[in-house]
Amino acid sequence: MIQATQYSSNRFIRLIGGLLLLSTFGLTSSLLKPSAAMEGVPAVEPRFNLTQRGGVIMIGNTLGHDCAAGVPATIVGAVGACGTNTSDSGIDVFWRADSPTTSQAEANTAITNTQARSSARLNIPVGASVTHAYLYWAAHWDSVPSTGDPDATLEFNRGNGQTVTAINSVVSVNSFYQSVADVTSYVQNHGSGAYRISGVQSNVFGNANDTLDFAAWWLVVVYADPSQPNRTIILHDGLDRVAIGLPLTNTLSGFNIPSSSTTNLAIVGYEGDNSSAGDQLLFNGNSVSNAQNPADNIMNSTLSYLGYRVSRPGDLPQLTGVANSMGGFDLDTFDVSALTSPGQTTANITASSNGDIYFVGGLILAITSLVADTPTPTATNTTTNTPTNTATSTPTNTPTNTATSTPTNTPTNTATSTPTNTVTATSSPTNTPTSTTTNTPTSTTTNTPTPSLWRAFLPIAIRSAE
C-alpha cells in the first residue's frame, strides 16, 4: 500500500512537472480553456489575412435540387422526374449544367453523381487584379475516406478543364466533408466568366430519405484595386457542425476599427432548412439578420448580399436566391458595420441553433482598417494543412461591392480609411485542422497556430507522468 502511494505521488509530481513544461511555452491557458462546442472544431488560424486596396468576391452554387413542395421554381433549369421520398428537406436529384443543350440545365433521376455539375459567373471589377482564389466543394458522402474528397474538376466558359487537387480536406461526423484547392493561378489566367464545377463525390440522392443530404461548391476571390480603400480581409474555413445545444464561437483579433468604416461578414453554410427555425448568427453578441435571412432562421438555403437576393444570369442552374431555393446551400453576406465601434480590436462570431443541424463551411470578414497603404502584392501563399476526421472551424468573409436592388453579382463596399494587418484568430469551440498561411502580399502576415504546439508537447507531459 505504501509502495502504491509512493508511486502515485511520484506520478503526480512528474505530471506537475510536465504541465510546468507546457506552461513555459505559454500553452496551459489553451488546454484549460472551455470548449463552446464539442462537435465544431474551428481552425485557430485563418486561411489568410491580409490588408490591401481592393475587395473580395464570393460565388457558388448547389449541385442538387430539393423536389419537396414549396421549393421556388427555377429561373433557368428544368426539373424532371424526382423519384420517391421527396417530402424530406434533403436534395433529391442532381443538376447538370449545359444540358440538354448549352446555357440550359436539367435535374432528374437519370443524372448520376459522376454527371453532376453546376456553374456560377464571376465578375471581377475592371482594373482589378486577382491576388488569391480558393475553390471549396462539400457534400454528404457515406463512403468518404478520412482524407475527404481529394479532387474536383474546374472549367471556365465550358472549356479549359482542369483537375484541381485539395490542399486540405475536413471530415466531420456522420460522413460530411469539405475540401479546398488553391486556384489562384487558374482564376488569374481566365478572369471574369462562368466557372463550372464537377467531380464532387457525394451520396446517391435518388429515392433517398435523408434530410441531411447536400452537395455544393463556392469560390472566394480576393482582388487588388488601387481605386478602392484599404481593407483587411480574413478568411476562415473548415466544416463545423452546429446543432441544438452545440454552438460555434470564433474570435477574431488583431485589427482596429477606424472611426469611419464598412464591415461585412459573409457566412457559408450547408444543410440549412428553411422549414426548421432556430438558427442564429451573433456578431459581438448581437443578432445578425436582413430581409432574406430572419434572425431566427439564418441558415435557410439562400444566396444573398446585404439583404438582397442574388440571382446571376449565367449561373446554371440559375435559381432565385430566396429562402428554400438553393438546395441546402447558404452563401450570405451581412453588413455588420453598426455592430462595430471605433478602436475595436476583436470580434466574436457565434453560430447556434435550437431546432436544426447545419454546417459552417466558411466565415469571411472584410474590414476597412487602420494601416498604411500597401502595394499590390505578389502573393506567396504557403499553406500547410492537416486533414482530420473532426470538423474544423471556418469561417467566412465578405464580398465587397455596392449592392443594387437585386444584385446579379457580388458588389463592393466603399469606405475610406487605413487598414491594419496581423490578424490573429482564436476559436472558442475547439481544435483541428491547423492551417498555416503566410501571405507575402501587401503586408506581411504570419500565422503561428498554437494547437500544433499542443500536439507536440502534450505527449511529453503525459509520458513524464507515467
- The C-alpha cell at 175 is 460522413
Residues constituting the chain? 466
Give this prediction's pTM: 0.73
At residue 193, the pLDDT reads: 98
Residue 152, burial from CB neighbour count under 10 angstroms (0-12, 13-18, 19+):
buried
For the CA atoms of 3, 4, 7, 9, the dihedral, rounded to the nearest 10 degrees, stands at -110
What are the boundaries of each domain within the chain? 1-27+455-466, 35-449
Q: Quick one: cell of 100? A: 440538354
What is the maximum span of the chain, computed from C-alpha positions, in angstroms? 84
Q: Is 41 in contact with 240 (CB distance < 8 Å)? A: yes
Position 338 pLDDT exceeds 50: yes
- The CA–CA distances, whole Å, from 211 to 72, 273, 329, 333 equal 18, 9, 13, 25
Q: What percent of the chain has pLDDT over 70?
A: 69
Chain segment 383-433, per-residue pLDDT in tens: 334 343 333 333 334 343 433 334 444 443 433 333 333 333 333 343 333
DSSP string of 186-212?
HHHHH-SEEEEEE-------TT---TT
DSSP H helices in 264-344: none
pLDDT at 441: 41
Strand order in the sheet with 303-305: 168-172, 176-182, 129-140, 215-224, 48-62, 230-242, 358-367, 263-270, 329-335, 303-305, 308-309
